[in-house]
Structure 1
Amino acid sequence: MKQQFKRFRVRTVSAMVAMAFAANAWAVDPFTVRDIRIEGLQRVEPGTVFASLPFRVGDQYNDEKGSAAIRALFALGVFKDVRVEVNGDVLVVVVEERPTVNEVDFVGTKEFDKDTMKKALKEIGLTEGRPFDQALADRAEQELKRQYINRSLYGADVVTTVTPVDRNRVNLTFTVTEGEPARIKDIRIVGNQAFPEKDLKGLFDLDTGGWLSWYTKSDRYSRTKLNADLESLKSYYLRRGFLEFRIDSTQVAISPDKQEITITVNVTEGDRYVVSGVRLEGDYLGKEDDFKSLVRIRAGEPYNADQVSETTKAFTDYFGNFGYAFAQVEAKPEIDRANNRVFFVLAADPSRRAYVRRINIAGNTRTRDEVIRREFRQFESSWYDADKIKRSRDRVDRLNFFKDVNVETTDVPGAPDQVDLNVAVTERPTGSLQLGAGFSSAEKLALSFSVKQENAFGSGNYLGVEVNTSKYNRTLAFTTSNPYFTPDGISRTIDIYHRASRPYDDQGGNYQLVTSGAGIRFGVPFSEADTVFFGASMERTQIKPGTNIPAAYLAYAEEFGYTSYSVPLSVGWSRDDRDSTIAPSRGRYQRLAMELGVAADTRYFRGNYQYQQYVPLGGRFTLAFNGEIGYGTGFAGRPFPVFKNFYSGGLGSVRGFDQGTLGPRDVTGSSIGGAKKLTLNTEVLTPFPGAGNDRSLRMFGFVDIGNVYAENEKFSIPDLRASAGVGLSWLSPIGPLRVAFAKPLRTQPGDRIQKLQFQIGTSF
Structure 2
Amino acid sequence: MARWPRVSLRSLAGAAGLLGLAIAAACGAPPPVRAPAGEHLIAIRIAGNRAIESDALEPALALHEAISDGAAVDPYLLAADTERIRAAYIKRGFFAVKVTSEVLHGQTTQVVVFTVVEGPRATARVEITGLPPGLSPAAARALVAIEDGAPFDYDAYDAAKQPLTALLENAGYARAEIRGTVIADPAVATLRYEIVPGVRCTFGEIRITGAGGELEDVVRARLRLATGARYSGSALAASQTEIYDLGRFSSVEVTADRSGGGAVVPVGVAVREADRREVHAGFGVGADPVHFEARVRGGGSWVPESAPLVTTAAEARVAATIPREDLTKLETGNAEPKIRVIGSLQRTDLWWPRLRGEIEGGYDYQTVEAYTWRGLHVRLGLGSPLGPRWLQLRVGWLLEELFFKGIKGAIAPSASVDTDTCDTACMARSALGLSGPQRLGAYQASLVADLRDDPIEPHRGAYLAVTAAKGTQWAGGALDYWQITPELRYYYSIAGTVMAARVRVGQIIGDVPVTERYYSGGISGQRGFPERQLAPRVALDPTGCASTGQDPIVIGGAGLIETGIELRRQITTVFGYPVGANLFLDGADVTCDADAIDPRHLQWAAGTGIWVKVPGLKIQGDIGYRLNRKGVDELPDQGVALLLGIGETF
TM (normalized to structure 2)? 0.68
One of 439, 443, 447 as aligned partner of 1:573: 447
Question: Are the counterparts in 1 of residues 249 and 271 from structure 2 also a CA contact under 8 Å?
Answer: no
Classify 1:303/1:544 alpha carbon distance in 2 versus 1 (closer, same or farther; 3 Å).
same
Distance 1:554 1:184 in 2: 80
Classify 1:500/1:660 alpha carbon distance in 2 versus 1 (closer, same or farther; 3 Å).
farther
Deviations 1:470-520 (A, max 9, x none): 24461414264444334421112333344444554xxxx7x4233431211
One of 592, 608, 611 as aligned partner of 1:726: 608
Classify 1:490/1:706 alpha carbon distance in 2 versus 1 (closer, same or farther; 3 Å).
same
Deviations 1:250-307 (A, max 9, x none): xxxxxxxxxxxxxx99999966744342222113324334433444321232223454
One of 597, 603, 607 as aligned partner of 1:715: 597
Q: Matches of residues 129-208 of structure 1 in structure 2 within 5 Å? A: 178=26, 180-182=28-30, 191=46, 193-194=49-50, 195-198=52-55
Classify 1:716/1:459 alpha carbon distance in 2 versus 1 (closer, same or farther; 3 Å).
same
Which amino acid letter does the alignment assign opposite residue 607 of structure 1?
Answer: I
Deviations 1:353-392 (A, max 9, x none): 233446789999xxx9888776542346643212323434
Distance 1:236 1:708 in 2: 60
One of 441, 466, 472 as aligned partner of 1:592: 466
Deviations 1:283-332 (A, max 9, x none): 33243344334443212322234543453322222212221111112332
Deviations 1:196-254 (A, max 9, x none): 434668999xx99xxxxxxxxxxxxxxxxxxxxxxxx9999799656899999xxxxxx
Any stretches of 5+ residues in structure 2 without a counterpart?
1-20, 34-40, 66-84, 101-111, 322-334, 413-423, 541-550
Shift of 1:527: 0.7
One of 505, 529, 535 as aligned partner of 2:396: 535
Give the match for residue 324 of structure 2: none
Which amino acid letter does the alignment assign opposite residue 513 of structure 2?
Answer: P
Give the match for residue 655 of structure 1: 527
Deviations 1:137-195 (A, max 9, x none): xxxxxxxxxxxxxxxxxx99xxxxxxxxxxxxxxxxxxxx8553249999987657234
Larger CA Rg, structure 1 vs 2:
1
Classify 1:682/1:566 alpha carbon distance in 2 versus 1 (closer, same or farther; 3 Å).
same
Shift of 1:758: 2.5
Distance 1:516 1:423 in 2: 44
Classify 1:741/1:294 alpha carbon distance in 2 versus 1 (closer, same or farther; 3 Å).
same
Distance 1:540 1:688 in 2: 50
Question: Are the counterparts in 1 of residues 488 and 503 from structure 2 also a CA contact under 8 Å?
Answer: yes
RMSD over aligned CA atoms reads 4.8
Distance 1:412 1:351 in 2: 13
Q: 1:342 and 2:189 equivalent?
A: yes
Q: Matches of residues 31-430 of structure 1 in structure 2 within 5 Å? A: 178=26, 180-182=28-30, 191=46, 193-194=49-50, 195-198=52-55, 273-287=121-135, 288-337=137-186, 339=187, 341-357=188-204, 376-379=223-226, 382-393=229-240, 395=242, 409-413=256-260, 417-420=264-267
Q: 1:523 and 2:383 equivalent?
A: yes
Give the match for residue 102 of structure 1: none
Shift of 1:558: 3.4
Which amino acid letter does the alignment assign opposite residue 174 of structure 2?
Answer: A
Classify 1:701/1:321 alpha carbon distance in 2 versus 1 (closer, same or farther; 3 Å).
same
Give the match for residue 583 of structure 1: 457
Question: Are the counterparts in 1 of residues 96 and 119 from structure 2 also a CA contact under 8 Å?
Answer: yes
Classify 1:180/1:296 alpha carbon distance in 2 versus 1 (closer, same or farther; 3 Å).
closer
Tell me whether 731-740 or 575-584 shows the greater mean CA deviation.
731-740
Shift of 1:715: 2.0
One of 299, 303, 318 as aligned partner of 1:467: 318
Equivalences, count: 533
Tell me whether 597-606 or 433-442 shows the greater mean CA deviation.
433-442
Give the match for residue 557 of structure 2: 674
Which amino acid letter does the alignment assign opposite residue 581 of structure 1?
Answer: P
Give the match for residue 484 of structure 1: 349
Classify 1:547/1:740 alpha carbon distance in 2 versus 1 (closer, same or farther; 3 Å).
closer
Distance 1:549 1:571 in 2: 36
Give the match for residue 88 of structure 1: none
Which gives a bigger RCO, structure 1 or 2 (Cα 8 Å, sep 6+)? Answer: 2
Classify 1:441/1:291 alpha carbon distance in 2 versus 1 (closer, same or farther; 3 Å).
closer
Distance 1:682 1:309 in 2: 39
Which amino acid letter does the alignment assign opposite residue 130 of structure 2?
Answer: G
Q: 1:642 and 2:491 equivalent?
A: no
One of 448, 454, 478 as aligned partner of 1:601: 478
Question: Are the counterparts in 2 of residues 645 and 673 from structure 1 also a CA contact under 8 Å?
Answer: yes
One of 285, 292, 309 as aligned partner of 1:437: 285
Any stretches of 5+ residues in structure 1 without a counterpart?
1-154, 157-176, 209-232, 249-263
Question: Are the counterparts in 1 of residues 619 and 645 from structure 2 also a CA contact under 8 Å?
Answer: yes
Shift of 1:434: 5.3
Give the match for residue 503 of structure 2: 627
Q: What secondary structure is seen at the aligned counterpart in 1 of 2:161?
A: helix
Which amino acid letter does the alignment assign opposite residue 746 of structure 1?
Answer: N
Q: 1:740 and 2:622 equivalent?
A: yes
Question: Are the counterparts in 2 of residues 435 and 761 from structure 1 also a CA contact under 8 Å?
Answer: no
Give the match for residue 513 of structure 1: 373
Distance 2:612 2:507 in 1: 34
Percent of aligned pairs sharing the same letter = 18
Q: What secondary structure is seen at the aligned counterpart in 2 of 1:746?
A: coil
Distance 1:555 1:238 in 2: 84
Distance 1:452 1:234 in 2: 61
Q: What secondary structure is seen at the aligned counterpart in 1 of 2:596?
A: coil
Which amino acid letter does the alignment assign opposite residue 503 of structure 2?
Answer: G
Distance 2:183 2:131 in 1: 20
Distance 2:570 2:165 in 1: 35
Tell me whether 238-247 or 700-709 shows the greater mean CA deviation.
238-247
Give the match for residue 492 of structure 2: 615
